[in-house]
Amino acid sequence: MTIVLRDPIPLRAPAGRPPAAGAAGIPLRPLLEAPRRPARVIAAFPSAVYLEMRGDPRAESRDESRAREPRVLALVCSDAVRLPNALVLAATRRERPFRAVREGAEGWVGDGLVETEGLCVRARRWWNPRPALGPLGAAAAARGLRGVEDALDEVDAAAACGLAGHPDPEALAAACAAGDLAGAVEAAERIVGLGPGLTPSGDDVLSGLLVALRLVGGALRDGERAVWLADWLGAAVTADATTRTTAVAATLLHCAASGYAGAEVAAVLRAVAGLEAPRPAVRRLLATGHTSGADLAWGVRAGCRAALALAGSAAAAQRATACQRATA
């Protein structure tokens, strides 16, 4: 008997019932504004549904790895963790908007819609998962970081990390603070995909680190070295992420490399910038997943410390150069 594989039947909202409205993260714009493409539900939970794209006509572009991202879209309730690749529904978890969605179901994404069995959502609004930290002085950032670290230490967040006791996160943090790109890449590549779950601990640590390096470094005077490090380290860990970790984690690594953060991570970064109270922001982040919150927090702390260290080194070098010129 010959088995014929066919594309999924196009899905539409039930007759007489308009699509539900949602707010989409900006990284999803290339997917949602493109023509409809097939997708598949790879995970379904009461508060979130993850769809992975099945085909990509943009894969012929010169930068194939960039063209394929984001590969995963998250549909989430309004009271769920808000990932940077999320399309957020107005419904809460208690309303059970995903009760008819099953893992393995076929779907479609594009023309402004996300469709799968029992669910059709239209992106009505956009939200930006890249928090604006503004110009940030080194002293103010150091004070903000101390507040965040105090909140983390109160609950011993480091002990809750999925890689607690593993040497490579510490090696990664030390290399970043020293501006050692080769050492950072070597340590980072050892933890890509390390750990169980939809987002392994190693990838959460890297995501927190990358977004902190880029955003805090971008806000600091003399933070260019941190942004440079984020560029190269991000390129290294995303180059083959799709073959080394889960589809969800690979997409989140690409988002972090571009400076896109989940709402809970963004709140902690805003606390570092003095724009939010640190303790509530830290509590929200640590409540994320089993170890994901603690892993992300570990990476954010390491990235902030590295950005401050690199900015301080650059400022010291500039002062030394100015002194040499003045005495010449």
- What residue segments make up the domains of the chain, in order of their start? 20-127, 138-317
262 has pLDDT over 60: yes
**Does residue 59 register a pLDDT over 50?**
no
pLDDT band for position 323 (cuts 50, 70, 90):
low
Average pLDDT, the chain: 89
Contact in structure between 89 and 22 (CB atoms under 8 Å)? yes
Structure confidence at residue 196 as a pLDDT band (50, 70, 90) = confident
pLDDT exceeds cutoff 80 at 66: no
Could you tell me which residue, 16 or 271, shows the higher pLDDT? 271
pTM of the model: 0.89
| Model pLDDT, residue 324 | 52
pLDDT at 17 over 90: no
Mean pLDDT of the region 239-262:
96
Averaged pLDDT, 302-314: 92
Lowest average pLDDT, out of 171-175, 239-243, 277-281, goes to 239-243
The upper half-sphere exposure of residue 260, i.e. CA atoms within 13 Å in the direction of its Cβ, equals: 21
CA atoms within 13 A of residue 323's CA, in its CB half-sphere: 6
Strand, helix or coil at 82? coil
At residue 241, the pLDDT reads: 94
Mean per-residue pLDDT, 138-164:
94
Is the preceding omega at residue 70 within 30 degrees of 0, hence cis? yes
Asked which of 57-61, 139-143, 228-232 is least confident by mean pLDDT, the reply is: 57-61
pLDDT at 5: 35
- Stretch among 57-66, 104-113, 166-175 having the lowest mean pLDDT: 57-66
Tokens standing for 321?
Answer: 């150069």
Lowest mean pLDDT among 5-14, 143-152, 168-177, 305-314: 5-14
Percent pLDDT > 70 in the chain is: 86
- Give me the pLDDT at residue 13, please: 46
Q: Is the pLDDT of residue 10 over 70?
A: no
Give me the count of residues in the chain: 328
Tell how many helices (H) and how many strands (E) occur in the chain: 12, 8
CA dist., res. 313 & res. 127, Å (int): 35
In the block, tokens 């963004």 appear at: 266
For 237, the token pair is 């860990």
Compute φ and ψ for 267, nearest 5 degrees. Answer: -65, -40
Phi, psi of 21 (to 5 degrees): -95, 145
pLDDT at 123 over 70: yes
| Helix/strand/coil for 64 | helix
| CA R_g for the chain | 21
Mean pLDDT, residues 52-64 taken together: 57
Q: Is the pLDDT of residue 57 over 80?
A: no
